[in-house]
Amino acid sequence: MPKQILILFAHPAVHNSRVNKAMVDAIADLEHVVIHDLYETYPDFYINIKKEQSALKQADLVVFHHPFFWYGPPPMVKLWQDVVLTRGFAYGINGSMLHNKDFMLAISTGGKEQAYQREGNNHFTIDELLFPYQAMSYRCGLQYHSPFVIHGSYNLSNEDILAHADRFRNLLVQYGEAGATALFANQKGGKFYG
Amino acid sequence: MDDHGLLFNALIYLFAAILFVPLAQYLGLGAVLGYLLAGVVIGPWGLGIITDVQDIIHFAEFGVVLLLFLIGLELNPKRLWEMRKPILGMGSFQVFITGILIFAIALLFNLSWQVALIAAMGLSLSSTAIALQTLKEQNLLDTPAGNKGFSILLFQDIAVIPMITLVPLLGVAQASSNDESGWLVALKVLGVIFALVLFGRYLTRPIFRIIAKAKTKEIFTAFSLALVIGIALLMQSVGMSMALGAFLAGVLLAESEYRHQLESDIEPFKGLLLGLFFIAVGMAIDFGLLLEDPVLILSLVALLVVIKFLVLFSMTWLFKVPTRQRYLFSFVLSQGGEFAFVLLTFATSVSALPVEIAAILTVVVALSMLTTPLLMIINAKFIEPRFSAVSSVPMDKVEPEDNQVVIAGFGRFGQIVARLLHANKIGTTIIDHNPDHIERVRKFGFKVFYGDITRLDLLHSAGLDKAKLFVLAVDDRQKGIQAVEMIREHYPHVKIIARAWDMIHAYDLLDHDVEIFERETFDSALRLGSKALNILGMPAHKAHIASQQFREHDLQLLLRMYAVHQDQSEIINLAQQARIDLEKLFEADQDVLDHDVEKEWN
């Protein structure tokens, strides 16, 4: 049986999305991938905790998939973390449900890669800005992997977008077959975005 | 022999239609050809059951009038104005060029120029009844060819007026003294149209309203019919064709919110009368003349159809009919029309046309009507497939103005749904049966139609076949459920969502697979409840979360109770069960409070 992937997709304005929409479309047919659209499922921000937790139990790889906005996720993701990753489930005494699962971010940024450098406009690298997720992973016993990042989403041509989406799909297919090694193999010098 | 009495004759027509139309449909020949064949069989040259053909034609021509009224209803003045160019341009081109060609050929047959001119005028017109019925039957009216064909037919209807005025002048005997000068006639026509506009704008609405309030369906139908007949007769009295008059009346009423009800009231009469008209045309074919000189008659028919076809076909380039629809467009208007009968009869009565020639031309026109359904079959079977193989590019479709959403019930609930959709620029068609709602609501700028939602024809004219979503918000539960059943059966593609009164109504809806519903008081009560919590000291957001939790639990409870409800034996315990569940619910609430991060937030 292929490794199971849970995509927690959060996009507050999916009707305007080019990049993230293309990524989701590209993986829609993969049987080992569950795409869970949080904004579509919980339009009133009332998250069904039990359902979320049982979905997490099924997954080998958990992916936070969302645009990167104000150096963080859309608010739904933070709320999801707050209410789903509870003590006794994700951490604390008996909180070992996520242990040894894989975790990865799939994000798009409006800014170009050069902007996410110490000397760039944003003054921090993507890896630095994502430290809270890394910390979350340590806390929950998740295996943190380098993020799948698409930069400069405003200026991408349709061909570029489709190529990125295809790359995303290949990665998930390989994970289904090979598990975490696929994620390591895809890292170029510690990161595989750009 | 033919004095069978009205009912017996009616029985014959109905039987002939019942027998031949399904047969023709089954053989893929179309309803029009079925009616025509039925007419041939029961007419004087077939079994000879019916002989008084002219009277019947005259009576049944009213079907054409109703047809044009209905078509008028679908075109509002604005759309008609947008069509002025194709009507004048294409219409005049077709009538004049076809007329000139027929005139020239008639002269070659050694007819006098007067007779040739009458023949040219009569034969240049096409059959509105056959062409429009065929286009409607095959759902082609909204395509470029359908649109353009319709424009030409409309021009022809207008052209009849000067033609009829011209005929007596060509007669030998100027007996029918035309004591009215042209401008006086024109003035009268304008006067009547003006009166009609005023009537349509200011008087129909209150009258419809009063009649609708009487809540007697047949009176509404009677009024609709009286309206059309009255206008048609009025138009005829000032020298316009009844059909054109009815068309104008239709256009004027197109923006009335009673349009759909009118449509569904008139529709069956139109269908029957038009059928009768086609039967009468079939009966009118004089096979005696045909047998006397079949070569002449048949070659004249062929000549007429070929000339009309060629003129129309050349127009497809000039007026940019899509390649794929060229043949369709040219075939559908290639016959002689019912106005030819009128014109020929009139011309003989003022001695402008010898009786023998009129008889021959009448047969030719009737037979040419028979060719259209056959040509349409040839088009569908042999010509269309060729094009679809060559180019898979879809034909440029005229966007139908139909709305995606139909809302039934425009009371205090439906209104809010409609306004939300409207605010988001989603077109909605609204059906309501309460004249007061309609009146009140027009102020919001909505289009509201009057009618009973359990009538299939109304649902159809409200555009259910093209709609995506049906919102049920009527007060009458029974009718609502009935409508759901009808939509499920006839428009299975339409998604249904509903306003539920209470739990029992919700069960009813669930029984009919309406899974998306909202209980009308539930959410507002929750909101007020959460405000109560807030006033009593609970932080606003916490109160909101509490109401959300309650909502979720209540929905689960409803579904659980529904399962019980399906098991009829336990139905008595429902209320008791509800109380127990409610208690459990409040207990359970304590556990779910985990939803808040409050325990972790310090």
Q: What is the CATH number of the domain that holds A79?
A: 3.40.50.360
Q: Check CB contact under 8 Å for B597 and A49.
A: no
Ranked by mean pLDDT, the top range of A55-69, B239-253, B269-283, B497-511 is A55-69
User: What does the mean pLDDT of chain B come to?
Assistant: 80
Q: How far is B555 from chain A (nearest CA, A)?
A: 13
ipTM for the whole complex: 0.79
Q: Report yes or no on A45 lying in a domain.
A: yes
B263 and B142 both lie in a single domain = yes
How far from the centroid of its chain's Cα atoms is residue B575's Cα? 49
Q: Is the Cβ–Cβ distance between B98 and B308 less than 8 Å? A: yes
Is residue B14 assigned to a domain?
no
Residue B384, in any domain of the structure = yes
| B85 vs A61 pLDDT, higher one | A61
Look at B600 and A83 and tell me if their CB atoms are within 8 Å.
no
* B580 pLDDT above the threshold of 90: no
Separation in Å, CA of B543 to nearest CA in chain A: 13
Burial of A44 (0-12, 13-18, 19+ CB in 10 A): exposed
Check CB contact of A46 with chain B, cutoff 8 Å.
Answer: yes
Co-location of B475 and B531 in the same domain: no
Amino acid at A119: E
- Is A193 part of any domain? no
Higher pLDDT, B510 or B338: B510
Q: Does the beta carbon of B600 lie under 8 angstroms from any beta carbon of chain A?
A: yes
Looking at the predicted structure, is the pLDDT value of residue A13 above 60? yes
Same-domain status, B294 and B378: yes
Cα–Cα distance, B24 to B402 (Å, whole number): 31
Please state the domain count of chain A: 1
* Closest by Cα among A111, A74, A105, A102 to A168: A105
Number of domains observed in the structure of chain B: 3
Distance CA B506, CA B562 (A): 9
Q: Residue B489 and residue B313: Cα distance in Å, rounded?
A: 42
CB A64 within 8 A of CB A133: yes
Question: Same domain for B60 and B161?
Answer: yes
Q: In chain A, which among 105-164 make CB contacts under 8 A with chain B?
A: none
d(CA B489, CA A175): 47
Residues B261 and B120 both lie in one domain = yes
Is there a domain that residue A108 lies in? yes
Q: Read off the pLDDT of each residue in B443-472 and give the average, rounded to a whole number.
A: 80
Chain A contact for B575 (CB, 8 A cutoff):
no
Final residue of a domain: which of B388, B418, B437? B388
Question: Do B365 and B407 belong together in one domain?
Answer: no
- A42 domain-assigned: yes
B338 and B475 part of one domain: no
The structure tokens 């959060």 sit at A10
Domain contains B64:
yes
Asked whether residue B300 is domain-assigned, the answer is yes
Which band of pLDDT confidence, cut at 50, 70 and 90, is reported for residue B390?
A: very low
Quick check: B177 pLDDT over 50?
no
Furthest-apart CA pair in chain A: how many Å?
49
A139 min Cα distance to partner chain B (Å) = 15
What strands lie across the sheet with B469-472, from one edge to the other? B448-450, B428-432, B405-408, B469-472, B495-500, B516-519
Q: Is residue A103 part of a domain?
A: yes
Same domain, B433 and B509: yes
Residue A17 lies in a domain: yes
Query: Within 13 Å and on the Cβ side, how many CA atoms surround B43?
Result: 25
> Model confidence at B586, in pLDDT bands (50, 70, 90)?
low
The residue that leads in pLDDT, B310 or B261, is B310
**B-proximal residues of A, 23-42, CB under 8 Å:** none
Is A87 in the B-facing interface, judged by CB distances under 8 Å?
Answer: yes
- Domain of residue A9 covers 5-185
Residue B370: CATH number of its domain: 1.20.1530.20
Taking the C-alpha atoms of residue A117 and residue B488, their distance in angstroms, rounded to an integer, is: 60
If you write DSSP's letter for every residue of B241-273 in order, what string do you get? -HHHHHHHHHHHHTTSTTHHHHHHHHHHHHHHH
Residues 520-549 of B with CB under 8 A from A: 545, 548-549
Tell me, yes or no, whether A192 lies in a domain. Answer: no
Q: How many CB atoms lie within 10 A of CB B471?
A: 23
Calculate how close chain B gets to A7, using CA atoms only, in Å: 22
Return d(Cα B326, Cα B331) in angstroms, integer: 9
Whether residue B502 sits in one domain with residue B577: no
Q: Do B595 and A87 touch (CB under 8 A)?
A: no
Structure tokens at B87: 């009507």
Is residue B141, in this structure, part of any structural domain at all? yes
Q: What is the pLDDT of residue B441?
A: 66
The residue among B331, B359, B388 that closes a domain is: B388
Residue of A15, A80, A84, A86 to mutate for B, most B C-beta atoms under 10 A: A86
Residue A146 token pair:
């380098």
Kindly state the average pLDDT of the residues B185-199: 80
Whole-Å CA distances, A39 to A71, A77, B302: 19, 10, 67
Distance linking the first and last C-alpha atoms of chain A: 31
Q: Choose the closest CB to A49 out of B545, B595, B600.
A: B595
B327, part of any domain = yes
Our CA-based measurement puts residue B554 at a distance from the nearest CA of chain A, in whole angstroms, of 14
User: Which of B454, B489, B520 is at the close of a domain?
Assistant: B520
DSSP string computed for A61-105: EEEEEEE-BTTB--HHHHHHHHHHS-BTTTBSTT--TTTT-EEEE
Backbone angles phi, psi at A73, to 5 degrees: -85, 165
Q: Do B597 and A46 touch (CB under 8 A)?
A: no
The DSSP-derived string for B415-434 is HHHHHHHHHTT--EEEEES-
B595–A83 C-beta distance less than 8 A: yes
pLDDT per position as a tens digit, B33-63 = 788 888 888 888 888 787 777 777 777 778 8
Instruction: Tell whether A47 lies on the interface with B, counting CB pairs under 8 A.
Output: yes
Q: Given its phi and psi angles, is residue A107 left (phi above 0), alpha (psi -120 to 50 degrees) or beta?
A: beta
Give the separation between CA B134 and CA B257, rounded to whole angstroms: 28
- Contact status of B556 with chain A (Cβ, < 8 Å): no
**Domain-embedded: residue A191:** no
Q: Is residue B530 part of a domain?
A: yes
- The verdict on B441 and B370 lying in the same domain is no
* B308 shares a domain with B175: yes
Local structure of B198: helix, strand or coil? helix
B100 or B252, greater pLDDT: B100
Q: Which of A81, A82, A89 to probe by mutation at the B interface, max B CB count within 10 Å? A: A82
| DSSP string of A132-194, one letter each residue | HHHHHHHHHT-EE---EEE--GGG--HHHHHHHHHHHHHHHHHHHHHTHHHHHHT-BTTB---
DSSP B529: H
Q: How far is A48 from chain B (nearest CA, A)?
A: 9
Average confidence (pLDDT) over B71-92: 82
C-alpha distance from residue B117 to each of A142, B104, B169, B366 (Å): 94, 9, 12, 20
Q: Which of A46, A48, A86 sits opposite B594 (nearest CB)?
A: A86
Q: Which domain holds residue B473?
A: 401-520
Q: Are B230 and B212 in contact (CB under 8 A)?
A: no
CA distance A145 to B491: 51
Q: Do residues B426 and B461 both lie within one domain?
A: yes
Q: What is the pLDDT of residue B339?
A: 78
Question: Which of B505, B446, B321 has the alpha carbon at shortest distance from B396?
Answer: B321
pLDDT of residue B408: 92
Which of A144, A133, A51, A139 is closest to A91 using CA atoms?
A: A139
The two most distant CA atoms of chain B are separated, in Å, by: 109
CA distances from B25 to A47, B8, B83, B137, B464 (A): 57, 26, 33, 11, 25
Shortest Cα distance, chain B CAs vs residue A83, angstroms:
6
pLDDT digits (tens, 9 = 90+) for B429-452: 888 877 777 766 666 656 667 778
pTM of the model: 0.54
Q: Is B595 on the interface with A (CB under 8 A)?
A: yes
Question: Looking at the domain assignment, is residue B234 inside a domain?
Answer: no
